[in-house]
Structure 1
Amino acid sequence: MSRYDGLKHRAVTTLQRRIVNPVSRRLPLQTVLETTGRTSGLPRRTPVGGRRVGDSFWLVSEYGEKSQYVRNIRANSTVRVRIKGRWYAGTAHVLPDDDPIARLKSLPRHNSTVVRLVGTDLLTVRVDLV
């Protein structure tokens, strides 16, 4: 990661953690990924953008392995996803061999544009819904 990428990562994650995420996760129709904190064991809810395709939910992480929710998934792949106000249990899979740029083309346009603009290390995640 370049120095610029590091500065961008810190600026964007600070904005997301302090302003965007607290507001977004309260919106009833915002898609939210709930993981279990790898240290605390507490539920951690992160607003995400993605799309349900059949019995799977697909998303692309902006910061790959640096994303806290990706690190939580690595520790415990059991997650929940709130889609259109309804919660679904699932198992998350980090897919480093998937092409995240190609994947973004199949996901909602607005979110995909933001992910490409602010992301520095894109990584695909698939949640198999139960």
Structure 2
Amino acid sequence: MSRLTDLRFRAATSVQRRVNPLLRRLPLQTVLETTGRVSGLPRQTPVGGRRVGDAFWLVSEFGERSQYVRNIKADPRVRVRIRGRWHEGTAHLMPKDDPVARLRRLPRLNSTAVRVIGTGLLTVRVDLAD
């Protein structure tokens, strides 16, 4: 990993640590809830993505370095809050999916930020149970 990549990752995660607690409280903010792989506690992360049928799609800007991706690898059972309503589901990491092409079909503002900040894009699909 290059020094620039590591710097971008550290800068982005530093900002996210301060902003995410505020975003999680916004009732219409989409939130992904995973189970902490070490603590076993619910971990909520604001995300951008889109529901398509019975699936919710998103792109992780730091791929397998993202804490929520690491939690999904340990336990793929998740919940997603979409428009204020929680949905249970099973998350799948999609390394063969083209994340840049996927971002073109997701909400523009978030997709732009993910492309600019991201260093290891990874598509995630959540199959919703309800």
TM-score using structure 2 length: 0.98
* Equivalent in the alignment of 2:4: 4
Residue 2 of structure 1: how far off its partner (Å): 1.1
Report Cα offsets for 1:4-25 as digits up to 9, x if no partner.
01011001101101x2101100
Rounded Cα–Cα distance in structure 1 between residues aligned with 2:104 and 2:2: 26
Say yes or no: does 1:109 pair with 2:108: yes
Secondary structure (helix, strand or coil) at the match of 1:89 reads strand
Report Cα offsets for 1:73-111 as digits up to 9, x if no partner.
000000000000000000000000000000000000000
Q: What are the ranges of 5 or more consecutive residues in structure 1 without an aligned counterpart?
A: none
CA RMSD of aligned residues (A): 0.4
Rounded Cα–Cα distance in structure 2 between residues aligned with 1:127 and 1:20: 24
Q: How does 1:22-33 map to 2 (within 5 A)?
A: 22-33=21-32
* Equivalent in the alignment of 2:13: 13
Report Cα offsets for 1:30-66 as digits up to 9, x if no partner.
0000000000000000000000000000000000000
Rounded Cα–Cα distance in structure 2 between residues aligned with 1:81 and 1:95: 18
Rounded Cα–Cα distance in structure 1 between residues aligned with 2:103 and 2:19: 21
Letter in 1 for 2:8: K
Percentage identity across paired residues of the two chains: 73
Rounded Cα–Cα distance in structure 2 between residues aligned with 1:113 and 1:95: 20
Letter in 2 for 1:22: P
Rounded Cα–Cα distance in structure 1 between residues aligned with 2:19 and 2:5: 20
Secondary structure (helix, strand or coil) at the match of 1:107 reads coil
TM-score using structure 1 length: 0.98
Q: What are the ranges of 5 or more consecutive residues in structure 2 without an aligned counterpart?
A: none
Rounded Cα–Cα distance in structure 2 between residues aligned with 1:89 and 1:49: 17
Secondary structure (helix, strand or coil) at the match of 1:25 reads helix
Secondary structure (helix, strand or coil) at the match of 2:69 reads helix
